[in-house]
Structure 1
Amino acid sequence: MAAVREALPEGRYGRSQDERADRKLKIIGSVLGVAFLAMVGWFGWDYVAGQDVSAELIKSRIVSDGRAEAHLEVRKDRDADGHCTLRALDEAGGEVGRADFRFDQRSERVDEVVSLRTTSRATAVELTGCSSDS
């Protein structure tokens, strides 16, 4: 018996419309993917380069019902002056203390333990942000 062909002979009638559409979609997807990655990189670089003062909360300790301590590591330009804002939170997440701490040292990296007064017992300390005084 002879074999029955269900598909057209390969290469005889040119490329099918599906193959052309698939190729166009792959090209368009690749271009859009590269553009998206470039945009994310640009925004990330702009955000990091735009900050003169940045900090990291290394650890915090609740000292008493009216005081909490926070260990901050601040990175800034040597000549930049700036401040960082910390807030203390109670068990329910409400704010029980807030303070700004200035960093005027002529150093690129400042490691400091700061004390924050609270109105009631805090359970956490949060770094809300830093900015330069320019």
Structure 2
Amino acid sequence: MSTASTQLPEGRYGRSADEGSDRKLKVVGIALGVILLALIGWFGYDQISGTRISAQVITFSASDNEVEVHLEVHKDADAHGYCTLRSQAANGAEVGRADFRFDQNASRVDKVLTLRTTAKGTTAELLGCYDD
């Protein structure tokens, strides 16, 4: 004896409801992915284009009451602003923080700066540069 099949003949009654919802989920997923990529690109562009002053710490040397920092600043020639530096002790406590102005009419500025500290600093960290 043979048993009767309980499945519907394939292709005879159209697509199942699961296939339709799968397609909708794919479309929604693609649309959300495109929107997410566009937002990431927009925020990235805004972050890069909005910065007119950038810098990097080249070297630093520390003593008991100060940290000398060699800072290289890149900026638009007409930009004026400041960079914030900080130093931390070996235990991670902040021992010094200061803002240093850069108002020169040059696109590249090399400066050796003195950051005064309350104890011996073991780091020289650039927190950021900001234009006026």
Q: 1:9 to 1:60 in 2, by over 3 A?
A: farther
User: 1:60 offset after TM fit, Å?
Assistant: 2.8
1:110 aligns with 109
Tell me how far apart the structure 1 counterparts of residues 123 and 16 of structure 2 sit (CA, whole Å). Answer: 64
CA shift for structure 1 position 71? 2.7
Q: Report the counterpart of residue 81 of structure 2 in structure 1.
A: 82
Structure 1: gaps (5+ residues): none
What is the 5 A alignment of 1:93-108? 93-108=92-107
For 1:111 and 1:21, locate their aligned partners in 2 and report how far apart those are by CA, in whole Å. 61
Give the TM-score normalised by structure 1: 0.84
CA distance in 1, matches of 2:67, 2:89: 11
Distance 1:103 1:85 in 2: 11
Distance 1:2 1:92, change over 3 A: same
Partner of 1:12: 12
For each residue in 1:101-125, what CA deviation from the matched residue of structure 2 results, as whole angstroms up to 9, or x when unmatched?
2222322232333221212111112
Shift of 1:129: 1.8
Distance 1:22 1:71 in 2: 59
Give the aligned residue type for 1:132. D
Structure 1 match to 2:61: 61
Q: Structure 2: where are the runs of 5+ without partners?
A: none
Q: Deviations over 1:27-70 (max 9, x none)?
A: 011001101111121122112222221222334332x1112122
Give the CA RMSD over aligned residues: 2.1
User: Which piece of structure 1 moves more, 5-14 or 71-80?
Assistant: 5-14
Listed one character per residue, the Cα deviations across residues 79-98 of structure 1 (whole Å, up to 9, x for unaligned) are 11111111111122222122
C-alpha separation in 2, matches of 1:130 and 1:103: 10
- Once the two structures are TM-superposed, the CA of residue 100 in structure 1 deviates from its matched residue by 1.8
Report the count of equivalent residues: 132
Judge which range, 124-133 or 78-87, deviates more.
Answer: 124-133
Identical-residue share of aligned pairs (%): 56
